[in-house]
Amino acid sequence: MAEQADVVIAGARCAGSAAAATFARAGRRVIAVDPVRFPATTVSTHLLFAGGVAELARVGALERVEKIGAPRLSRAFIGGPGHAATGTYTPVDGIAHGLCVRRAPLDAALAETAREAGAEIREGHRVIDLLWEDGRAAGVRVRDRTREYEIRARLVVGADGRRSTVARLAGAEHPRIAHANGRACYYAYYDDPRQEWRGTAAMWLTGRELGNAFPCDGGLSLVLLMPPVERAADFRGDLEAEFDRTVGLVPGLAERLTGCTRTSRIVSSATHPSFFRRSAGPGWVLAGDAGHFKDPVTAQGIRDAVRFGRLLGERAAGVLDDPAALDRATRAWERTRDAQCVHTYHWTNLLGRGDGLAHVQFELLRALTDPPGGVRRVLDVYSRIRDPRETLALPGLVRATARALLRGGGSRADIVRATGETLRELAGHRAEARGLLRP
Ligand SMILES: Cc1cc2nc3c(=O)[nH]c(=O)nc-3n(C[C@H](O)[C@H](O)[C@H](O)COP(=O)(O)OP(=O)(O)OC[C@H]3O[C@@H](n4cnc5c(N)ncnc54)[C@H](O)[C@@H]3O)c2cc1C
């Protein structure tokens, strides 16, 4: 006999736990399965801007997450050659700080929040197939260490990450739109005695190199390097030596790390394309990275996974017993997600370019963050309370390109080529967004 639930969820990290908590609070029987056992890490850095921290609060997880002990990051620093700007946040729901909590404790706190709300979280269990009935997803087949079994449900949620099994089984694996990453990611944790930096998330752009230092839990700081993607080849040899050499290419970061010691192995991600997938169909839905992934460069993934996991629960819990109304609700949810994410996706893809455009990005950031209050206005974009398109207005881009050419840090031909491509891309964004949002 198959088990019965109202909602079955594949994956119990950011999107899965947020959805599970919300459906359970609405009185629905929820089972979420995940092959890992929490606390378990995953390949992901974990900066949250104030808007992301507010999402943890909205899903009821913030108190638990704050107990993990990460410092409140109430300041942000943006630096590079001859430029240093610090600013604070516009509060979002009264929250005026970012947080950087390692994924193992963060995800365990999210799963615990879902459990406390009444959801059942099964660790060490993996969805291996979908059950179908009259063209609708009607449940899942699950495998654990000892057996295979079925759970029938009104709604199947794939919250199983970028390589989603549910997306593949629902025939939605091929993205509607996709974009290759322009930067690779290498990160490690440092013992960090620099108390004066403890409340500051910092980023430096130097030439085409991008380096970050984010104080996190455990008295550590997360150091994230995002070199241009073609430099991934340099990291394939002696990873540690190339990591340290790259820190040296970003003098502001190297100075920041004075007195700090690397205490972890280096984690790499060289290929992580961004995409939107079709994310709602009869009886199934894709939440979090399973349905939409953005380049890590703007650190929006956890925020969006938690937010749209919660919104899915809020929109669908009341209509689970009416299949037609449920399918309308999940399609409407998908459109809301796309409308709220597509401009951030385009902005992220531009910031994620590690080619000649990096020089223009720096000039743009300098122009945006030099005036008093400038950092705050940029943080408003990262917190999702300001439209990113405002930072990419044509006159600003043209001025930034002219300044990049005058400063002469990179190849002029590369800068001109990259700006030309960007202008063409910007022109295409509107059509791409329209296509995505078309019902
Ligand atoms: C290098 C890198 C750096 C990043 N840095 C940041 C950052 O600084 N800030 C930020 O906000 N975001 C960042 N992100 C994005 C962030 O990691 C994701 O957006 C976020 O983890 C999405 O959460 P999720 O719950 O959708 O998926 P995941 O966190 O990927 O969780 C999916 C879960 O599904 C489970 N699963 C897989 N298959 C199955 C199956 N068949 N059955 C059941 N369960 C299954 C997995 O075990 C996993 O636990 C980064 C991503 C990368 C790659």
Q: pLDDT tens digits, the chain, 439 residues: what are they?
A: 789 999 999 999 999 999 999 999 999 999 999 999 999 999 999 999 999 999 999 999 999 999 999 999 999 999 999 999 999 999 999 999 999 999 999 999 999 999 999 999 999 999 999 999 999 999 999 999 999 999 999 999 999 999 999 999 999 999 999 999 999 999 999 999 999 999 999 999 999 999 999 999 999 999 999 999 999 999 999 999 999 999 999 999 999 999 999 999 999 999 999 999 999 999 999 999 999 999 999 999 999 999 999 999 999 999 999 999 999 999 999 999 999 999 999 999 999 999 999 999 999 999 999 999 999 999 999 999 999 999 988 899 999 999 999 988 889 999 999 999 999 988 899 899 999 998 7
The rounded Å distance from CA 289 to ligand 1 centre is 6
Index of the ligand 1 atom closest to the CA of residue 17? 25
Give the closest residue (by CA) to ligand 1 atom 18.
301
pLDDT of residue 267: 98
Give the closest residue (by CA) to ligand 1 atom 38.
160
The domain limits of the chain are 3-46+102-179+273-346, 185-269, 353-437
CB-based contacts of 155, cutoff 8 Å, min separation 6: 6, 7, 8, 137, 283, 284, 285, 316, 320, 326, 330
Give the closest residue (by CA) to ligand 1 atom 52.
44
185-269 has CATH 3.30.9.100 classification = yes
- CA dist 416 and 310 (Å) reads 43
Measured from CB, residues less than 6 Å from any atom of ligand 1 are 10-11, 13-16, 33-36, 42-48, 126-127, 159-161, 165, 185, 269, 272, 288-290, 296, 299-303, 305
Which tokens belong to 92?
């979002």
**How is residue 67 annotated by DSSP?**
T
The rounded Å distance from CA 146 to ligand 1 centre is 26
Burial 247-272 (b: 16+ CB within 10 A, else e): bebbebbbebbeebebeeebbbbbeb
CB-based contacts of 3, cutoff 8 Å, min separation 6: 31, 149, 150, 151, 152
Give the closest residue (by CA) to ligand 1 atom 28.
161
pLDDT of residue 349: 95
CA distance readout (Å), 264 to 36, 223, 261, 360, 396:
21, 11, 9, 33, 40
CA distance readout (Å), 228 to 83, 84, 113, 309, 354:
21, 22, 38, 32, 4
The answer to whether 308 and 288 have CB atoms below 8 angstroms apart is yes
Q: First vs last Cα of the chain: how many Å apart?
A: 39
Note if the pTM is more than 0.85.
yes
The answer to whether 23 and 121 have CB atoms below 8 angstroms apart is no
The rounded Å distance from CA 364 to ligand 1 centre is 30
pLDDT of residue 421: 92
The rounded Å distance from CA 327 to ligand 1 centre is 25
**How is residue 266 annotated by DSSP?**
P
The rounded Å distance from CA 224 to ligand 1 centre is 17
CA dihedral 317, 318, 323, 327 (to 10 degrees): -70
Q: What is the CATH number of domain 3-46+102-179+273-346?
A: 3.50.50.60
Helix ranges restricted to H, 1-134: 14-25, 50-58, 62-66, 103-117
